[in-house]
Amino acid sequence: MKVLESVAAMRVARQAMAGSMGFVPTMGYLHEGHMALARRARAENEHVVASIFVNPTQFGPHEDFERYPRNQERDLAMLQKEGVDAVFLPPVVEMYPSGSCTYVTVEGLSQKLEGASRPGHFRGVATVVAKLFNIVQPARAYFGQKDAQQVVIIKKMAADLDMNLEIVVCPTVREPDGLAMSSRNVYLNPAERRAALVLWQALCLAREMWQKGERRAEVIPKAMRELIQKEPLARLDYVSLAHSQTLEELESIPKEGEGSVLASLAVYIGKTRLIDNIVLE
Amino acid sequence: MKVLESVAAMRVARQAMAGSMGFVPTMGYLHEGHMALARRARAENEHVVASIFVNPTQFGPHEDFERYPRNQERDLAMLQKEGVDAVFLPPVVEMYPSGSCTYVTVEGLSQKLEGASRPGHFRGVATVVAKLFNIVQPARAYFGQKDAQQVVIIKKMAADLDMNLEIVVCPTVREPDGLAMSSRNVYLNPAERRAALVLWQALCLAREMWQKGERRAEVIPKAMRELIQKEPLARLDYVSLAHSQTLEELESIPKEGEGSVLASLAVYIGKTRLIDNIVLE
């Protein structure tokens, strides 16, 4: 497995890979969710490239960029085990040389949900993903449904800018008790880890109400909010029931054939901000 | 010569062109300036693709999008004569389907000079050029120095977003009397056509003062302004002496080795807005 730290070296490695290329962009500190992406990329393409880059431009000034967990050696061993051909591992200055001033924005979609809580986040995401796509030039790129809004935005960017690749979305991978896998779970102490289950519980409640035929848009979020408020270590950021493609908050829940619904939420567990979602079809 | 009107058809045609690809993006109503780009692309690449697309998103609400000159038949004949292999000629809805909301912005550079007079212009330019690059996937793309700021911005975009291509800049092509070739010259009546020469005269004056050793930054623009004010059919938009890469307006003219100077201006001749520039080295 090749490890490439410069754009130039990555381009040379890319040139040598004829045939279909699957790409798994990550911020490292890998878990089973990332491995599921790598395995699917491995199964569907002749070559697989992963990237590990903690992208500073998608973190707000008071967010956890500096302390975001990193473990390069373990990450590389995990990727090698999955048969990844090459890992792009650039330093920040390689991705953002002094004077960088070009940004990709997906307007509208980027201001809602996570974007409302994290201004500039999706501008950073869209820009770095556009750069990585231009460097790696994959036929397919793999993202997790865990970051549901990111997936919607990247698909929109790829379509709007005529990027010649397929965005493949893989299901959220969960711990046995239901907590969505996330690199940030490492921040949780044992009590917080138990409390973090409240995100999944709230989503299961939403799904249950939905399956029982509840179609009043305000009732489900209210029940989710109440459930989260009962957990002393949890502080709600937002709960949302939105159209799964436009991310418009629902006034009323769509009838059959009117599209699916994204139930999503962001919750602070202690100082750790976690997100999760399910699609109600 | 193939003429392709959809993104899908252009992609298929592109797939069939192995080897180096030169790309000449245009807004049509071609003149010798465009032909110089096509000839250079023809000389330097195995395949040449041109595009003709009057891009609505780079025109302001009160600008000349609707009346921008068009002559598709003549354009295609001219491109065929230069040995262009394929012309991409999409309708607006093919480039901007309903709901398009992704933009590329080159911050800072896009707000100066033309960008100050035409808000949103370079966002439209950068976005459509990024799209065209993704569709045509050239090894080299050819632009005229006539649009000096556009060239600086597209080079910066390509570098910042790690686009894997070379931006080739070709000298401004001029009429025998010095007027820069422009599709908009067709708007000029005979009196205006004579008056339009004032742009080139002002640039020649700047060059002459520069060559005689004038290094006070304010003196040259002042002389250019005075010259333009003497022409009754001309109304000055701006005159600028700026660093040729950063486009920062000069406080004092740089000494040798400190980079070159872009002398540029925009002038209304009647209702027609014309631009021109020269680089002082």
pLDDT of residue A256: 67
According to the model, what pLDDT value does residue B256 have? 67
Specify the residue for token string 């002389």: B223
Residues A116 and A209 in one domain: no
Verify that A121 and A192 share a domain, yes or no: no
Q: What CATH number is given to the structural domain containing A125?
A: 3.40.50.620
Residue A176 lies in a domain: no
pLDDT tier for residue A115 given thresholds of 50, 70 and 90: very high
DSSP string, B163-225: -SSEEEEEPPPB-TTSPBP-GGGGG--HHHHHHTHHHHHHHHHHHHHHHTT---TTHHHHHHH
- Asked if A101 and B7 come within 8 Å (Cβ–Cβ), the reply is no
Total-model pTM: 0.97
Residue reference for tokens 């139930």: A263
Domain boundary among B170, B197, B213: B170
Q: Is A248 on the interface with B (CB under 8 A)?
A: no
What's the average model confidence in pLDDT over A35-53? 98
The C-alpha of A202 sits at a distance from chain B's nearest C-alpha, in angstroms, of 32
> Which structural domain range is residue B107 located in?
2-170
Which of A101, A126, A162 is facing B135, going by the closest CB pair?
A162
- Residue A246, class by beta-carbon neighbours within 10 Å (0-12 exposed, 13-18 middle, 19+ buried)? middle
Q: State pLDDT tens for residues A74-111.
A: 999 999 999 999 999 999 999 999 999 999 999 999 99
Q: Is residue B178 part of a domain?
A: no
DSSP secondary structure of A5-58: -SHHHHHHHHHT--S-EEEEEE-SS--HHHHHHHHHHHHH-SEEEEEE---GGG
Any chain A CB within 8 A of the CB of B205?
no
- Asked whether residue B29 falls in the same domain as residue B141, the answer is yes
Q: Which residues of B touch A161 (CB under 8 A)?
A: 102, 104, 127, 130-131, 134
Is the separation of the CB atoms in B272 and B187 below 8 Å?
yes
Residues A196 and A132 in one domain: no
Chain A: give the shortest CA distance to residue B121, in Å. 15
Given a cut of 80, whether residue A272 has pLDDT beyond it is yes
Phi, psi of A239 (to 5 degrees): -125, 140
Note whether residue A119 is domain-resident.
Answer: yes
Q: Which of residues 128-157 of B touch A (CB under 8 A)?
A: 130-131, 134-135, 137, 156-157
Residue at A259 is within a domain: yes
pLDDT tens sequence for chain B (281 residues): 999 999 999 999 999 999 999 999 999 999 999 999 999 999 999 999 999 999 999 999 999 999 999 999 999 999 999 999 999 999 999 999 999 999 999 999 999 999 999 999 999 999 999 999 999 999 999 999 999 999 999 999 999 999 999 999 999 999 999 999 999 999 999 999 999 999 999 999 999 999 999 988 789 999 999 999 999 999 999 999 999 999 999 877 666 667 799 999 999 999 999 999 999 98
Alpha helix (H) residue ranges in A50-179: 72-81, 92-95, 114-117, 121-136, 148-160
Kindly report the backbone phi and psi dihedral angles of residue B118, in degrees, each rounded to the nearest multiple of 5, phi listed first. -130, 75
Claim to verify: residue B130 and residue B21 sit in the same structural domain: yes
Would an 8 Å CB–CB cutoff place A226 in contact with chain B?
Answer: no
Residues B135 and B43 in one domain: yes
Task: Give domain status of residue A178, yes or no.
Answer: no
Q: Is A245 on the interface with B (CB under 8 A)?
A: no
- One domain, residues B192 and B260: yes
Residues B88 and B199 in one domain: no
Tell me which of B114, B140, B170 is where a domain ends.
Answer: B170
Q: Is residue A230 part of a domain?
A: yes
The CATH number of whichever domain residue A238 belongs to comes to: 3.30.1300.10
Length in residues, chain B = 281
Over residues A114-130, the mean pLDDT reads 97
Smallest Cβ–Cβ distance between A101 and the set B7, B156, B162 belongs to B156
- Pairing mode of beta strands A272-280, B2-4: unpaired
Q: What is the ipTM of this complex?
A: 0.96
What is the per-residue pLDDT for B176?
Answer: 98
Q: A90 in a domain, yes or no?
A: yes
Which residue of A15, A94, A98, A102 to mutate against B (max B Cβ within 10 Å)? A102
pLDDT of residue B253: 67
Per the CB < 8 A criterion, the answer to whether A210 and A220 are in contact is: yes
For residue range A195-205, list pLDDT tens digits in order: 999 999 999 99
Question: Is beta strand B272-280 parallel, antiparallel or unpaired with respect to B261-269?
Answer: antiparallel
Average pLDDT across chain A, whole number: 96
Give the three-state DSSP class for B91.
Answer: coil
Decide: B234 and B224 in contact? Cβ < 8 Å. Answer: no
For residues B50 and B89, give the distance between their C-alpha atoms in angstroms, rounded to a whole number.
9
Query: Same structural domain for residues B117 and B189?
Result: no
Whether residue A177 is contained in a domain is answered as no
Domain boundary among B147, B170, B193: B170
Q: A79 vs A28, A55, A231, B52, CA distance in Å?
A: 10, 19, 37, 45
Q: Is there a single domain that holds both residue A26 and residue A160?
A: yes
A134 and A65 in a common domain: yes
pLDDT confidence bin for A17, thresholds 50/70/90: very high
Of B148, B158, B20, B30, give the one whose Cα is nearest residue B87: B30
Residues B240 and B189 in one domain: yes
Domain total in chain B: 2
Q: How far apart are CA B118 and CA B59, in angstroms?
A: 8
* Tens-place pLDDT, residues A22-37: 999 999 999 999 999 9
A40 has a chain B CB within 8 A of its CB: no
Determine the straight-line distance between the first and last CA of chain B, rounded to whole angstroms: 40
With an 8 Å Cβ cutoff, is A104 touching chain B? yes
